[in-house]
Amino acid sequence: MSFLSKLKEKFTKKEDKAVYLSGFKKAKQTFGDQLNEMKYEFKGVDDDFLEQLTIILLESDVGIETADEICDRLKKKCEDFPSLTFHWAMNFLIEIMKEIYEEVEDTDIVYNENGPTVILLEGVNGSGKTTTAAKLANMYLKQGKTVALTAADTFRAGAIDQLAEWGERLNVPCIKGRENGDPSAAIVDGCRYAKEHGIDILLCDTAGRLQNKSNLMNELSKMNRVSGREIENAPHNTWLVLDATTGQNGLSQAEVFADSTSLSGIILTKMDGT
């Protein structure tokens, strides 16, 4: 099942599918149209074809190393088919991209069997951490779990109130940090509340760190340490929230955040271009 097909299965209403997947239309058409243009001058998977394919991949914000890997695999795969048609060349291209995507398997979400499961959401400003925290809270509520939110973004104006508002809408407790205060103190308060009230899932919304400010990144490391002192092995999951529209910059963000914290997952937001 394709990526878009899997997305479709997540929606139960036809209008939901149409609204959500329409955001992919422009990107899909641009990439597909560029590939289809190549069929008019197709003479086989030769150097000219591979050069043009590389350009299309780069224009679609595929990294240079990945683009080269795709083209190298395609060239090798097509060597045994001297009379290959453009249609089959495209089928091989899709197959290779799928293979690369699936080379690293998804890791399972870690749940704490002996107390609250602590999940830290990290990422730069505007990536969608607060909204993602609310969506995750709603998901876990539907699974029958008890949930609490921790507003540890003490720097962004309105961030605490925004998460608190989501908490009220979802009927979920929100442990608030003090505005311009120590975010780690908010994490400690959240962990203690979760233990005292038998909460299953504690979702911690952290400040939007600029990945080029080392002092702020050190603060993230501190939040990881203090949560571990309050609840064994916490945080059990640390997820980096990335804006999907940032392209290659997302990779550099992930590398820097991974240096400061032990990332266990990535959430891509704004996949529909919003």
- Length in residues, the chain: 274
What pLDDT score does 63 carry?
Answer: 86
* Number of domain units in the chain: 2
Predicted confidence band of residue 210 (pLDDT cuts 50, 70, 90):
low
Give CA–CA dist 86/108, Å, rounded: 39
Tell me, yes or no, whether 274 lies in a domain.
Answer: no
Query: Which one of 101, 128, 148 terminates a domain?
Result: 101
- Mean pLDDT along residues 47-51: 95
Q: Are residues 165 and 139 in the same domain?
A: yes
Say if residue 151 is in the same domain as residue 245. Answer: yes
Q: What is the pLDDT of residue 168?
A: 97
Same domain, 129 and 73: no
Question: 261 Cβ partners below 8 Å, 6+ apart?
Answer: 120, 122, 220, 221, 224, 238
Residues 87 and 201 in one domain: no
If asked whether residues 140 and 226 sit together in one domain, one would say yes
- Does one domain contain both 86 and 165? no
Whole-angstrom distance, CA of residue 210 vs CA of residue 152: 16
Quote the tokens at residue 152.
Answer: 């540890």
Same domain, 68 and 194: no
Rounded Cα–Cα distance for residues 233 and 224 (Å) = 10
Looking up residue 127, the CATH number of its domain turns out to be 3.40.50.300
Contact 112, 231 (CB under 8 A): yes
What pLDDT was estimated at residue 212? 53
Average pLDDT, the chain: 86
Look at residue 9 and tell me if it is in a domain. Answer: yes
CATH number at residue 30: 1.20.120.140
Q: What is the mean pLDDT of residues 146-151?
A: 97
The parent domain of residue 172 ranges over 117-269
Helices (H), the chain: 3-9, 14-21, 25-37, 47-59, 64-78, 86-101, 129-142, 159-170, 183-196, 214-230, 249-260
pLDDT bin (cut points 50, 70, 90) of residue 195 is very high
CA distance 182 to 150: 13
pLDDT digits (tens, 9 = 90+) for 92-104: 999 999 999 889 8
Token pair in block for residue 251 = 């990779």
What is the distance between the alpha carbons of residues 130 and 46, in angstroms, rounded to a whole number? Answer: 48
- Assigned domain for 107 exists: no
Smallest Cα–Cα separation from 146: which of 180, 171, 124? 171
pLDDT band, very low/low/confident/very high, at 2 (cuts 50, 70, 90)? very low
- For residue 219, tell me if it sits in a domain: yes
What is the b/e burial string over 95-120, where b = at least 16 CB atoms within 10 angstroms of the residue's CB? ebbeeeeeeeeeeeeeebeebbbbbb
Q: What is the pLDDT of residues 3-45, one digit of tens each?
A: 445 545 555 555 555 555 555 555 556 788 889 899 998 999 9
Dihedrals phi, psi of 163, to nearest 5 degrees:
-70, -35
Compute the distance between CA of residue 271 and CA of residue 274 in angstroms, rounded to an integer.
7
